[in-house]
């Protein structure tokens, strides 16, 4: 993208030099047309430089946002794996605790209780009070009661949500950069029309091309004014 913008500027400068070294035009209308063409070329050069700069900035932002999103995804996945491992570990202990309780092995049951992870223990104690061995209405496990907490799963959700937001911001940055690229393409069309107009001596043809180039220039200028800046 910066290469395209630089090419537009070089062509605009070349056309200005060609116009400057040509002899004076024989009529007043040619002088006016050359002034208008010079203004159009100056606006094209400035607008191209700005849109090229913005396209590069937004492209850089897109890469940065995508990179941060990918790093957060990796971190979130680590917390997801940790959460699953902790759930399996606690679930295994609960099963062994139930077996020990059913067989009246109090010491073994207490051993499994001590093996619960600190974060899981409040939920287990609350579930234990519901008398799950004799109460058919008791929850199926500690993970199903309100006291249950899983900080690893919560951290996974937070990081995954943040990664999604960053990815969406990166996508918007890419779309904005593409908008600036389209602006540069339109400016190249304006530059082409202006270059063609300088090849004609006929007033009507030259005037028509200059008017067309000027009208077409309004669109990229309006887009530059309304597009977000990086």
**What integer pLDDT is reported at residue 169 of this predicted model?**
96
Q: What is the CA radius of gyration of the chain?
A: 35
CA–CA gap between residue 165 and residue 177 (Å, rounded):
18
**What integer pLDDT is reported at residue 5 of this predicted model?**
53
**What integer pLDDT is reported at residue 230 of this predicted model?**
80
Domain that holds residue 56: 2-226
Q: Which of 95, 128, 126 is nearest to 112 (CA)?
A: 95
Q: Which two tokens mark 99?
A: 């077996």
Per-residue pLDDT of the chain (230 residues; tens, 9 = 90+): 455 555 655 655 555 555 555 544 446 777 888 888 889 999 999 999 999 999 999 999 999 999 999 999 999 999 999 999 999 999 999 999 999 988 888 898 889 889 999 999 999 999 999 998 888 888 989 988 889 999 999 999 999 999 999 999 999 999 999 999 999 999 999 999 888 887 877 778 888 888 899 999 999 999 999 999 98
Q: Which parts of the chain fold into alpha helices (H)?
A: 2-21, 28-102, 106-114, 121-128, 151-197, 203-226
The count of domains in the chain is 1
End-to-end CA separation in angstroms for the chain: 15
**What integer pLDDT is reported at residue 25 of this predicted model?**
43
């Amino acid at each position: 993208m910066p290469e395209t913008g630089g090419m537009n500027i070089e062509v605009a400068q070349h056309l200005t030099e060609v116009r400057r070294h040509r002899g004076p035009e024989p009529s007043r209308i040619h002088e006016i047309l050359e002034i208008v063409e010079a203004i159009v070329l100056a606006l094209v050069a400035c607008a191209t430089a700005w849109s090229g700069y913005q396209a590069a900035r937004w492209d850089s932002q897109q890469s940065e946002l995508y990179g941060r999103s990918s790093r957060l995804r990796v971190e979130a996945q680590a917390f997801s794996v940790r959460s699953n491992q902790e759930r399996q570990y606690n679930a295994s202990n609960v099963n062994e605790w139930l077996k020990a309780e059913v067989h009246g092995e109090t010491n073994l049951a207490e051993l499994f209780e001590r093996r619960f992870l600190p974060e899981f223990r409040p939920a287990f104690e609350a579930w234990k009070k519901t008398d799950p061995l004799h109460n058919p209405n008791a929850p199926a496990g500690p993970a199903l009661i309100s006291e249950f907490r899983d900080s690893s799963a919560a951290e996974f959700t937070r990081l995954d949500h943040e990664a999604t937001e960053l990815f969406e911001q990166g996508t918007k940055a890419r779309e904005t950069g593409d908008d600036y690229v389209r602006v540069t393409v339109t400016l190249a069309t304006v530059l082409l029309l202006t270059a063609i107009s300088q090849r004609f001596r006929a007033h009507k043809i030259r005037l028509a091309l200059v008017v067309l180039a000027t009208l077409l220039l309004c669109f990229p200028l309006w887009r530059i004014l309304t597009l977000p800046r990086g």
